[in-house]
Amino acid sequence: MAEFDYSRQTNTQYGSNLGASSVIHASTSASGSSDNDYQGRHIKKKKGGKGKIVLIILILILVAALIGLGIFLVNRYYIPQKAYEEIAKNYTLQQAHAENEDCVAWVQIDDTLIDYPVMWTPDDFEYYLHRNFKKEDSYAGTPFFGLNCKAGDNSMLVHGHHMRVGTMFANLEKFADGEFFDNHLISFEMLDGPHVFQPIIASYVDLTNSSHFRYYDYVGNLSQKNKTELFTKLGATAVQSVSQEELDASVTTTTLMLSTCTYHTAEERMVILAKQIS
């Protein structure tokens, strides 16, 4: 009887098992590789999704900020201006005075947005600095008479804000242009009737300069000496002016100054000095 070859059977069996194991291992490796690829793609997809979410959030924040800015600009600039346009359209000075007795004058200049009531509150001359015609809080405020002067004085001063969108007294800076200066008058109605003023000096005054001319003190009923000093010192910083001969002849007239801030320095003012011609 032939002897059975255990080593051959074992090798064969083990070889078969080894082959199967190799196949399984290869299959497992391939499957693992596929799983890893899938997981990698899945992770990348997740990362991309997070980026989109962040982008959407940033866009929403930007939109909200723009909406907020729009509301802010409308409330600060557009609504106050529209309110004054309605008053100018529907009220005479006498009617405006009846509505609010602080309103004692009206100023208007062609080819500008200047068409506003002028307020007078002697106990607190800056009362309307940030209040509208109805005495409500308003950043734009309402033009008002300066300290120690009133309608009818021989030297009047009216203050108004320079709004960055061109409203209130911002357009006073147009008088820095020679052609505009020469061809525009100032309508200034008071309770005694309408009056017209001709600009004779357009000047910048920098209040940050400790030696600046205190034009705002030259108001009320000035002597001829003080009126001459006003003309001379304000004329020293003029960007536009009539002739010296005309200035000299204007000293005895009633004058009106319109004043607003500028953005050239922190405390610079544009001042228009005008003489009454009717």
**Mean of all residue pLDDT scores within the chain:** 85
Backbone angles phi, psi at 263, to 5 degrees: -115, 25
pLDDT at 102 (0 to 100)? 98
SS3 state of residue 188: strand
Mean pLDDT of 70-94: 83
Question: What gap in Å lies between CA 202 and CA 204, rounded to an integer?
Answer: 7
- Judge whether residue 109 has pLDDT over 80: yes
Structure tokens at 270: 């544009």
- Taking only the tens place, the pLDDT of each residue in 180-213 is 999 999 999 999 999 999 999 999 999 999 899 9
What pLDDT is attached to residue 79? 79
Distance CA 184, CA 109 (A): 7
R_g over Cα of the chain: 40
b/e 102-140 (16+ beta carbons within 10 angstroms → b): bbbbbbebeebbbbbbbbbeeeebebbbebbbeeeebeb
Give the per-residue SS3 of 217-228.
HCCECCCHHHHH
Please state, in angstroms and rounded to a whole number, the distance separating the CA atoms of residues 171 and 129: 18
128/160 Cα distance (integer angstroms): 10
Residue 246 backbone phi and psi in degrees, to 5: -70, -35
The average pLDDT across 207-229 equals 96
With a CB cutoff of 8 Å and minimum separation 6, the contacts of 62 are none
DSSP H stretches of helix in 74-206: 79-90, 93-99, 178-183
- Contact status, residue 93 vs residue 191, Cβ threshold 8 Å: yes
Reported confidence tier of residue 47, pLDDT bands at 50, 70, 90: low
Count of H helices and E strands in the chain? 6, 9
CATH of span 94-276: 2.40.260.10
DSSP secondary structure letter of residue 164: T
In 3D, which of 167, 146, 118 has the Cα closest to residue 271?
Answer: 146
Q: Please give the pLDDT value at position 7.
A: 41
Q: Which amino acid is at 258?
A: L
CB 156 within 8 A of CB 219: yes
Domain ranges of the chain: 36-90, 94-276
**What is the rounded distance in angstroms from the CA atom of residue 250 to the CA atom of residue 248?**
5
